[in-house]
């Protein structure tokens, strides 16, 4: 990262103070490389945590993590800041599943409710809202779209967004015994799971595609994801609304949500 960009990120971190945002302690600029000193988050990124030590988290615990992130984003929303890179890799995990938003390298203050990125800027397409990916036009509602993608990472323990199953026809030619000289064709179909390419994601999303409900995910939680992915950004919820909707899960009867860990054991 360019030293100027590094210092710009530090300035943003210095201005923004909230329990769910990573806190800046110091910036060391005497010699290069420049260092940013922040509070320690013991378990590292949420993505690595979900794929490793956090695989035993229950659904309510994962929803609580999502609610914490929404709380931090609601603060950014109130301060007219956009993150622009909201993803599990940029959330840090501390003790007792406490999480904080980090990596403000792409964060920007917005005026008139909109920020236009410079031409040629690069963004993580699979997490980026279509209006931002196609037209470099960012609002807090673009972060809401990314939050919906982040929710899929949380409920699937860090699965790459936009997985697709490709049915491959595998033809195996086998030479029979010389006595009959028969050539037989055996067809084998196998599921090959890979992620969509960035170009495929842009095309499919623009034509109305949305990821299907992840396995063992409550319909009410999937409805939140779909609300985050509304084509008209003005129809997407605020982060304040997302926070209380996620926190509301803990007041629902247990029959109204499904714990994927329990389902896996049935």
Under CATH, which architecture does the 41-109+123-168+193-248 domain have? Orthogonal Bundle (1.10)
pLDDT at 240 over 90: yes
Domain locations in the chain as residue ranges = 41-109+123-168+193-248
The owner of tokens 């260092």 is 35
pTM value is: 0.80
Give tens-digit pLDDT for 176-227. Answer: 334 333 333 333 333 345 689 999 999 999 999 999 999 999 999 999 999 9
Residue 92: closest CA among 34, 46, 153? 46
Give tens-digit pLDDT for 131-153. Answer: 999 888 889 999 999 999 999 99
85 is known as an active-site residue:
yes
Provide the pLDDT for residue 200. Answer: 93
CA distance 189 to 72: 46
* Lookup: tokens for 198: 């960035």
In the set 2, 31, 64, 85, the catalytic residue is 85
Provide the pLDDT for residue 258. Answer: 52
Beta strands in 50-162 (DSSP E): 81-82, 91-93, 99-101, 108-109, 115-116, 137-138
DSSP H or E stretch at residue 205: helix 198-206
DSSP state, residue 45: B
Give tens-digit pLDDT for 4-38. Answer: 666 776 677 777 889 999 988 877 777 777 777 88
Beta strands in the chain (DSSP E): 24-28, 35-38, 81-82, 91-93, 99-101, 108-109, 115-116, 137-138, 163-175, 183-195
CA distance 51 to 261: 15
């Amino acid at each position: 990262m360019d030293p100027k960009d590094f210092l710009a990120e530090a300035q943003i971190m210095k201005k923004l103070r909230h329990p769910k945002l990573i806190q800046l302690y110091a910036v060391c600029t005497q010699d290069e490389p420049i260092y940013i000193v922040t509070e320690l988050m013991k378990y590292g990124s949420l993505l690595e945590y979900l794929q490793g030590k956090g695989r035993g988290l229950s659904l309510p615990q994962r929803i609580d993590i999502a609610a914490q992130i929404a709380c931090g984003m609601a603060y950014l929303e109130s301060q007219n800041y956009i993150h622009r890179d909201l993803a599990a890799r940029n959330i840090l995990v501390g003790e007792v599943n406490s999480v904080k938003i980090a990596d403000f390298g792409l964060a920007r203050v917005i005026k008139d409710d909109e920020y236009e990125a410079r031409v040629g800027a690069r963004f993580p397409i699979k997490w980026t809202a279509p209006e931002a990916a196609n037209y470099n036009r960012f609002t807090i509602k673009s972060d809401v779209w990314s939050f919906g993608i982040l929710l899929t990472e949380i409920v699937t323990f860090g699965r790459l967004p936009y997985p697709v199953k490709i049915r491959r026809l595998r033809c195996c030619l086998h030479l029979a015994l010389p006595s009959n000289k028969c050539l037989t064709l055996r067809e084998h179909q196998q599921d090959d799971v890979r992620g969509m390419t960035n170009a495929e994601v842009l095309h499919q999303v623009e034509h109305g595609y949305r990821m299907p409900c992840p396995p063992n995910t409550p319909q009410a939680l999937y409805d939140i994801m779909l609300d985050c992915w509304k084509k008209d950004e003005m129809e997407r919820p605020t982060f304040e609304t997302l926070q209380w909707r996620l926190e509301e899960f803990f007041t629902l009867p247990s029959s109204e949500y499904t714990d994927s860990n329990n389902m896996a054991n049935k």
